[in-house]
Amino acid sequence: MTRVPRFLKSVISLLGNIYFTLGLIGMLFFALIGFVGPLIYNVNPFAVNYPPNLSPRENLPLGSDPLGRDVLAQLLHSIRGSLIVGLLASIISIVISVVTGVISAVFGGLVDDIIMRLSDILLLIPSLLLMIIIASYLPERTLYHVALVIGIVSWPGFAKTIRGVVLSVINSDYISMAILSGVPRIKLVFVDVVPLVAPYITASFALLFSRTVLTEAALSIIGLGVGKECTLGLMLYIAQTYFAINYGFWWTFIPPSLAIVFMSMSFYFIAIGLENLVFPILGVSKSR
């Protein structure tokens, strides 16, 4: 068998998984809306062109928000903003957790103890509260600042599980054989261990993505999210502070809520799909 058919086969089996397919469709849908949508519906999301809280009408498909801005333009740009925050935060977090998890598993001993106790303590201080404190340091809160705050808080659980997976690979017989035959440890890790763990890291990444999107919204609702740009959380925050919900202006908060839920859900489903296929027993979604 050549390489390509086998690859195709695994792609087909991946697409046969209902979770993965649903998640992938959702992800592509939101990526399309977020990055192509603003180009088609070309309206400045910050322009105050309307009186506040107009209900949806002909040239204003989703009405205007409490500040008098076009909700549809806000929504399209916010989906992009939330995707960017989620992507950056997940990249930061996955890099930290892979590096710490692998170091901890490979070196063991004191290094392992220090990293693991540190992540224990971080897990014990509720992450939202930790983020609130870190977020209140920031001089200004752009997309990148918020992504950084979320990224440096959400790694510990994943570092722990990645350490576990790496340990289970390292302790297998063929790795011991390789060590005995004199392959340097670092080379071993990058050539043999990391590729084996890669699907697991991908699944963790998807799971992290689904969490960070929600975290951004939570942080924004408290009032400590992004300051000026558009994110879905900020739209909800504005709707809440101006009592749009109490007055029943559904167009200001239902579209962003649905976008957040379905965005997070599609990444969650991708994570579950990958996990079902690659690690039927381990279970990524159980890591905190």
Partner 1 sequence: MSTKRGYFWLVKYIVSRLVQIIICFMLIQVIIFLLPRAIPGNPIETLMARLIEAGMTNPEALKDVEKMLLEYFEFDKPLHVQFITYMSNLLRGDLGKSVMFFPKSVNEVILSYLPWTLALMIPAIIVSWIIGNALGVFISMKSSKRSINAMTVFLMGLSAIPPYILGFFLIYIFAVYWKLLPVGGGWSPLTRPSLTLSFIIDYIRHYTLPFVTLVISMMSGWAIGMRGIAIKEAVSYGINYLRTVGVKDRLIFRYLFRASMAPQLYSLAIAIGWSITGSVITEIVFNYPGLGSVFLTALRNQDYMLIQGFYTIISLTILLAIFITDLAITILDPRIRHGFVG
**What is the nearest approach in angstroms of partner 1 to the Cβ of residue 253?**
6
Q: Give the binding range for partner 1 (CB under 8 A) out of 58-66, 174-182, 187-195, 250-258.
A: 250-258
> How far is 191 from 201, CA to CA, in rounded Å?
15
Is residue 114 near partner 1 by the rule CB under 8 A? no
State the binding string over 193-212 for partner 1 (x if CB under 8 A, else -).
-----------------x--
Is residue 18 near partner 1 by the rule CB under 8 A? yes
Is residue 146 near partner 1 by the rule CB under 8 A? no
Q: How many CA atoms lie within 13 A of 179 on its CB side?
A: 13
Is residue 264 near partner 1 by the rule CB under 8 A? yes
Assigned token pair, 186 = 């670092």
Assigned token pair, 223 = 């009032």
Identity of the residue, 202 or 240, whose beta carbon is nearer to partner 1 in the bound complex: 240
> How far is 220 from 264, CA to CA, in rounded Å?
16
- What 3-state class would DSSP assign to 57? strand
Is residue 226 near partner 1 by the rule CB under 8 A? no
Assigned token pair, 53 = 């809280």
Is residue 87 near partner 1 by the rule CB under 8 A? no
**What is the nearest approach in angstroms of partner 1 to the Cβ of residue 171?**
19
Where do we find the tokens 């159980």? 286
Is residue 272 near partner 1 by the rule CB under 8 A? yes
* Residue 192 CA: distances (Å) to CA of 97, 171, 179: 19, 12, 11
Spacing of C-alpha 249 from chain mean position: 29
**What is the nearest approach in angstroms of partner 1 to the Cβ of residue 16?**
13
- What 3-state class would DSSP assign to 154? coil
**What is the nearest approach in angstroms of partner 1 to the Cβ of residue 6?**
27
Q: Which of 67, 116, 240, 278 binds partner 1 (CB under 8 A)?
A: 240
> How far is 165 from 91, CA to CA, in rounded Å?
19
Q: Give the binding range for partner 1 (CB under 8 A) out of 43-51, 78-86, 183-191, 258-266.
A: 258-266
In contact, 124 and 59? CB cutoff 8 Å: no
In contact, 224 and 141? CB cutoff 8 Å: yes
Q: Which of 99, 261, 278, 282 binds partner 1 (CB under 8 A)?
A: 261
Residues found near partner 1 in the complex (CB under 8 A) = 18-19, 22, 120-121, 124-126, 128-129, 132-134, 136-137, 210, 214, 217-218, 221-222, 236, 240, 245-248, 250, 253-254, 257, 260-261, 264-265, 268-269, 272
